[in-house]
Amino acid sequence: MRQPSLPPFVFGILSFLFYCLNTLIWGGLFVAVGVLKLLLPSRWLKKKCLKMMYQFLTIWGAFFHRYNAITHLTHWDIEGAHFLNPDHWTLLIGNHQNWVDAIALFEVINGRTSPPRFFAKREILWLPIVGLGIWLGENPLVSRYPEAYLKKHPEKKDRDLKTTREACQKFSEEPVTICNLVEGTRFTPQKHRAQKSPYHHLLKPKAGGIGWLLSALPDKIHEIINLTFVYPDGKKTFWDFLCGRIPRVIIRIQKIPVSDIQKGDYRNDPHYRKYFQSWLNALWEEKDQMIEDLTAPTRRVDLRSRKRADHLLKLALAADSKSEKHRNQP
State the CATH number of the domain containing residue 116. 3.40.1130
Tens-place pLDDT, residues 279-305: 999 999 999 999 999 998 655 444 454
> Is residue 147 one of the residues assigned to a domain?
yes
Q: Which domain holds residue 140?
A: 78-315
Element (H, E) at 228: strand 221-230
| C-alpha torsion 55→57→62→65, nearest 10 | -160
100-127: burial string, b at 16+ Cβ within 10 Å, e else = bbebbbbbbbbeebbbbbbbbebebeee
Transcribe 114-152 into DSSP letters.
Answer: SPEEE-EEGGGGGSTTHHHHHHHTT--EE----HHHHHH
> Is residue 260 one of the residues assigned to a domain?
yes
> Is residue 122 one of the residues assigned to a domain?
yes
pLDDT of residue 124: 82
Task: Look at 127 and 249; give whichever has higher pLDDT.
Answer: 249
> Is residue 257 one of the residues assigned to a domain?
yes
In the chain, the number of structural domains is: 1
> Is residue 44 one of the residues assigned to a domain?
no
Of 149, 163, 139, nearest in space to 57 by CA: 139
> Is residue 8 one of the residues assigned to a domain?
no
pLDDT of residue 327: 53
Q: Is 93 helix (H, G, I), strand (E, B) or coil?
A: strand
| pTM exceeding 0.95 | no
> Is residue 42 one of the residues assigned to a domain?
no
The answer to whether the beta carbons of residues 4 and 71 sit under 8 Å apart is: yes
> Is residue 290 one of the residues assigned to a domain?
yes
Mean of the pLDDT values across residues 263-276? 90
Q: Is 295 helix (H, G, I), strand (E, B) or coil?
A: helix
